[in-house]
Amino acid sequence: MANDLFSPVTLGAIHLKNRMVMAPLTRNRSGEHGVPQAINVTYYEQRASAGLIITEATPISLMAHGYPALPGIYTDAQIAGWKKITDAVHAKGGKIVIQLWHVGRISHPSLLPNGALPVAPSAIKPAGQAFTYQGLQDYVAPRALEASELPAIVADYAHATKAALAAGFDGVEVHAANGYLLDQFLRDGSNQRIDNYGGSFENRSRLLLEVTKAVIAVAGADKVGVRLSPVNPFNDMKDSNPQALFNYVAKALRPLDLAYLHVVEGGIHGGGEADPFDFVTLRKLYQGAYIANLSYDKARGNAAIASGHADAIAYGVPFIANPDLVARFKADAPLNVPDVTSFYGGSEKGYTDYPFLTA
């Protein structure tokens, strides 16, 4: 049988009934104290026909937050809230992993404990504004992390992984993309350190590898994925040589035998023009299971799988507006139009009220 979007695949220890992955999508609808609520259970349960759901990016600690109404994965109450979601998805025959997140400099003192400064590899203020409970506010210059502080952040990732397993997740995804903390260490536009975590590709990759190995030590490599975005300019990100850097990262991750590598193949969120990049070479250097993400439709997704470029395809906005995206693709049915105004924050509208196909 030819491989296509509707054929099963195994990523590490995770068996997918199809190759359509729901991409991580920040929706800003968590309950108090970062505890998922009933509306979140409904939202994920509705989309359980995906081969794999990757949750919205989820902070690993109080200091990892950068937006309002985010769920967390570091307290017992959060574990209990997420357990309702994983149970609901599993009851529908779905698989779900949680994306582990530290936003680094893309935060604001009003969102952090005791009005703390956001942390980053270097004290470089990003252009743009933070979404806060008081509305948009200019980003502030972050505090550069001391090398001595990094083991505690690595430990936060390990703790969040233990919490994720307790919550019933099938695995975890380390978020090293889109201008957040681990990506800030990778790219030299945000990392100008002169210690063992800055300068060379090896040094800038060090924190990502330490985090990934710590997460693997808890969950097992076959339940761990990593997400990269080599040229996404979102969150004021850039690098002087992205191809060489991320070729290095792909080769460094290869021996870890991850469940998958998840790659944003270009720029998202209107962050500006992405640099040219050869994702075919990156994929060949990595060699392991590969999830491709960005502007794929059914035809492009099937072609990427048939050619061997990707093992699965992640869809973002289409899954927001079409909880039954798999059935719609199978039937070549029209797709619902997404309501952009309800992407971030709000209630059921634009979250759990999109219509399913009628029989």
Is there a domain that residue 1 lies in? Answer: no
Domains held by the chain: number: 1
Q: pTM surpassing 0.95?
A: yes
Is there a domain that residue 100 lies in? Answer: yes
Which residues are designated catalytic? 180
**pLDDT over 60 at 1, yes or no:** no
Instruction: Give the list of residues 6+ apart from residue 145 with CB closer than 8 angstroms, or none.
Output: 119, 120, 121, 153
**143-144/119-120 β-pairing:** parallel
Across the range 172-195, mean pLDDT stands at 98
CB-count burial class (<10 Å; 0-12, 13-18, 19+) for 45: buried
Instruction: Return d(Cα 256, Cα 71) in angstroms, integer.
Output: 29
- Would you say 111 and 89 are in contact if contact means Cβ atoms under 8 Å apart? no
- Would you say 129 and 106 are in contact if contact means Cβ atoms under 8 Å apart? no
Q: What is the pLDDT of residues 71-121, one digit of tens each?
A: 999 999 999 999 999 999 999 999 999 999 999 999 999 999 999 999 999
The phi, psi pair for 17, rounded to 5°, reads -75, -20
Our measurement of the distance from residue 328's CA atom to the centroid of its chain's CA atoms, rounded to an integer in Å, reads 24
Is there a domain that residue 88 lies in? Answer: yes
Q: What is the pLDDT of residues 194-232, one digit of tens each?
A: 999 999 999 999 999 999 999 999 999 999 999 999 999
Is there a domain that residue 291 lies in? Answer: yes
Is there a domain that residue 25 lies in? Answer: yes
CATH number, residue 173: 3.20.20.70
Across the range 326-346, mean pLDDT stands at 96
Q: What is the pLDDT of residues 243-289, one digit of tens each?
A: 999 999 999 999 999 999 999 998 876 656 778 899 999 999 999 99
Is there a domain that residue 353 lies in? Answer: no
Is there a domain that residue 57 lies in? Answer: yes
Is there a domain that residue 317 lies in? Answer: yes
Range of the domain at 154: 9-342
